[in-house]
Amino acid sequence: MASIPPSWKIYIPLLSVLVLILTVMGDYYLPSPDPAESPSDHTHSHDANSDTSDPLDKAFGRAPDPGAVPVDPEREHRMAVFHYNEGNKFLTKGDWKEAVQNYKMALHHDQSLSNAYINMSSAYLRGKQYEEAKKTLDTLKTRAPDHPHLYYNLACYYSLTRQEAASLKALQQSIRLGYLNPGELHTDPDLENLRQTPAFQQWAETL
């Protein structure tokens, strides 16, 4: 092993101090780890890969701002019609929950889509969610108070909840406003309780 020249030995303590200073400064200036980059096994309910994310988040990537002004009204209407048709497919299959979610998305895009309220109330009635059905119909009443299907579905709601007098009144109103399928009055299972009343039977004879 080569020996250190005697003239260098006086610099060894200085070099040791310099190395120590550089080591301390290096540790001080190293960047701290970013907490956002730390691995985590916790999944939030709105993560893209979470099975519990909200249907609206799945549809639009994130929860929409309810106060946002539509950028393109025509596109908004097309999206509303798309979700309305999807809701109809699920309702036909008997999946009332998925139907409701699609009708809600339709109304998020276009609150003037009256038939979405009608069919959403039908989905709620099928799921025996009577109060939700009533709330939906009450909302539609403030927007389209002369919609004949509004009163027909109200008649179904009142019949299912054993309010036969209110059911008959709503049914009569739907006919006055132009409900076009009066034969359904005698076959719709939602109106079964109403059909058992003498008041309905007497009125039906006049149709």
Q: For position 20, what pLDDT does the model report?
A: 56
- Count Cα atoms within 13 angstroms, Cβ side, for 129: 14
At 41 the three-state DSSP class reads coil
Task: Give the per-residue pLDDT at 7.
Answer: 55
Average pLDDT over residues 12-25: 55
32-67: pLDDT as tens digits: 333 333 333 332 222 223 233 344 444 334 455 666
pLDDT in the model for residue 180: 86
How large a percentage of the chain has pLDDT more than 90? 62
The DSSP secondary-structure symbol of 110 reads -
- Give the model confidence (pLDDT) of 152-171 as tens digits: 999 999 999 999 999 999 99
Sequence-distant (6+) residues with CB within 8 A of 80 are 106, 107, 108, 109, 110, 113, 116
Arithmetic mean of pLDDT, 101-124 = 96
Question: What average pLDDT does the segment 110-125 reach?
Answer: 96
Radius of gyration from C-alpha coordinates of the chain = 34
Q: Where in the chain is the domain with CATH 1.25.40.10?
A: 70-144
91: pLDDT strictly greater than 60: yes
Q: What is the pLDDT of residues 126-142, one digit of tens each?
A: 999 999 999 999 999 99
Q: Which of 199, 120, 122 is closest to 153 using CA atoms?
A: 122
Decide: pTM greater than 0.75. Answer: no
8 Å CB contact between 96 and 123? yes
With both helix axes pointing from N to C terminus, report the angle between 130-143 and 148-160 in degrees, rounded to the nearest 10.
Answer: 160
Query: Per residue in 177-202, pLDDT tens?
Result: 999 888 899 999 999 999 999 999 99
First vs last C-alpha separation in the chain: 119
pLDDT number for residue 182: 83
Tell me the two tokens of residue 201: 């039977």
Question: What pLDDT does 112 receive?
Answer: 93
For 70-144, CATH gives 1.25.40.10
pLDDT of residue 75: 93
* 60-89 pLDDT, tens digit each: 344 556 665 545 899 999 999 999 999 999
Token digits of residue 202: 């007497």
HEC profile of 139-187: HHHHHCCCCHHHHHHHHHHHHHCCCHHHHHHHHHHHHHCCCCCHHHHHC
- The predicted pLDDT at position 10 comes to 59
